[in-house]
């Protein structure tokens, strides 16, 4: 995937030309990271490998649920996991994570205190925040010239068969809850039932629920309206100026993915070094601009380009940001949501 490159040159980028790969020697320590696709810049990877004379191995997952299922099944060999915050809490509840040793993580001092006040792990006992971004709506301006920034776009008859929603229970039901004026983490049965009925209405309008093709689909004009992740849509917007990206006025998910260490990690010291590396201000800034997401790292802000810092999607107004929420941990209320999602899928 082509990522948005806001920085033409940086110290990390200049260094990348002579950073040696350490993948050729088997005697070097290995750190295995289980993460999302395209979620670490080449420069951040190379500079870590050089600094620690190691080999970084990346394995990927496409959903928190798939990652959790694999870890719960006993999959070993991973030293770092990069789940969303609510998934971190789920892993913690099953005693599958080890606590962070802050003595080995001096760069945690860079983490945004304002973000931590709302985080699911505010003291960073088991996780360090990595990247955050909103879930957004994107549409073609030529097809929907009068569109307003609202989830109600999915109710418009003129998008029938030309729209997609994420195949994600928390994102889609959460969007409907926000549309109805509720928390996207609501466990009120009446609110969730109303949200379910709204999603069923949207379902009659969309081409499908899906998590990957929305990017290529809107870029090619196959889809006129999509629900997707900001970073991915920002990257395709660079190639198609007809794409408009908005955070719906009702608010949206603005969640964070975190860095954590599984209990089964074989190389916990190197895992701590990796977390500390990614929390370095300059590394975080370069990594942010390559990925197209926002790290809650106050010290990194001074190293960001004006273009990136000026993004109204990654840095929305205070008023709109206040309407956004992180996806929370449902704990024993998960079956309530699962039943609602099953109703949507079977409708």
Place of tokens 């789940």: 83
Residue 116 lies in a domain: yes
Q: Do residues 156 and 294 both lie within one domain?
A: no
Q: Residues 78, 79, 80, 86: is their CA dihedral positive or negative?
A: positive
Mean pLDDT computed over every residue of the chain = 91
Q: Do residues 194 and 340 both lie within one domain?
A: yes
pLDDT, tens only, 81-102? 999 999 999 999 999 999 999 9
User: Any idea what the CATH number is for the domain that residue 179 is in?
Assistant: 3.40.190.10
pTM: 0.81
Q: Do residues 168 and 144 both lie within one domain?
A: yes
pLDDT, tens only, 307-343? 999 999 999 999 999 999 999 999 899 999 999 999 9
Structurally, how many domains does the chain consist of? 2
pLDDT, tens only, 199-219? 999 999 999 999 889 999 999
Q: Do residues 179 and 226 both lie within one domain?
A: yes
Q: Do residues 338 and 216 both lie within one domain?
A: yes
pLDDT band at 26 (very low <50, low <70, confident <90, very high): low
Residue 4 lies in a domain: no
Q: Which range marks the domain in which residue 142 is found?
A: 133-253+317-346
The token pair at 259 is 């860095």
Q: Do residues 302 and 333 both lie within one domain?
A: no
Residue 269 lies in a domain: yes
CA distance 208 to 189: 26
Residue 303 lies in a domain: yes
Other Cβ atoms less than 10 A from the Cβ of 298: the count is 16
Distance of CA 345 to the CA centre of its chain: 24
């Amino acid at each position: 995937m082509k990522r948005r490159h806001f920085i033409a040159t940086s110290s990390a980028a200049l260094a990348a030309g002579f950073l040696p790969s350490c993948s050729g020697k088997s005697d070097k320590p290995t750190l295995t990271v289980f993460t999302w696709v395209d979620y670490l810049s080449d420069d951040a990877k190379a500079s870590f490998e050089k600094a620690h004379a190691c080999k970084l191995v990346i394995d990927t997952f496409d959903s928190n649920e798939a990652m959790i299922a694999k870890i719960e099944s006993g999959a070993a060999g991973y030293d770092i996991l990069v789940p969303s915050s609510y998934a971190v809490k789920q892993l913690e509840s099953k005693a599958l994570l080890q606590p962070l040793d802050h003595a080995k993580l001096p760069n945690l001092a860079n983490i945004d205190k304002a973000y931590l006040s709302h985080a699911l792990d505010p003291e960073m006992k088991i996780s360090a925040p990595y990247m955050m971004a909103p879930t957004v709506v994107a549409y073609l301006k030529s097809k929907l010239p009068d569109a307003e920034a609202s989830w109600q776009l999915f109710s418009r008859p003129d998008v029938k068969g030309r729209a997609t929603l994420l195949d994600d229970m928390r994102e889609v039901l959460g969007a409907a809850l926000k549309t109805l004026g509720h928390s996207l983490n609501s466990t009120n049965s009446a609110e969730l039932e109303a949200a379910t009925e709204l999603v069923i209405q949207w379902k009659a309008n969309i081409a499908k629920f899906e998590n990957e093709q929305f990017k290529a689909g809107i870029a090619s004009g196959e889809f006129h309206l999509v629900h997707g992740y900001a970073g991915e849509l920002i990257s395709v917007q660079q190639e198609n100026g007809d794409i408009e990206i908005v955070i719906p006025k009702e608010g949206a998910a603005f969640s964070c993915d975190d860095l954590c260490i599984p209990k089964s990690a074989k190389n916990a010291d190197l895992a701590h070094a990796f977390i500390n590396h990614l929390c370095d201000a300059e590394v975080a800034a370069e990594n942010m601009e390559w990925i197209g997401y926002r790290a809650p790292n106050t010290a990194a802000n001074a190293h960001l380009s004006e273009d990136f810092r000026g993004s109204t999607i990654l840095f929305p107004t205070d008023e709109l940001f206040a309407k956004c929420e992180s996806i929370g941990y449902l704990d024993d209320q998960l079956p309530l949501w699962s039943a609602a999602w099953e109703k949507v899928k079977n409708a």
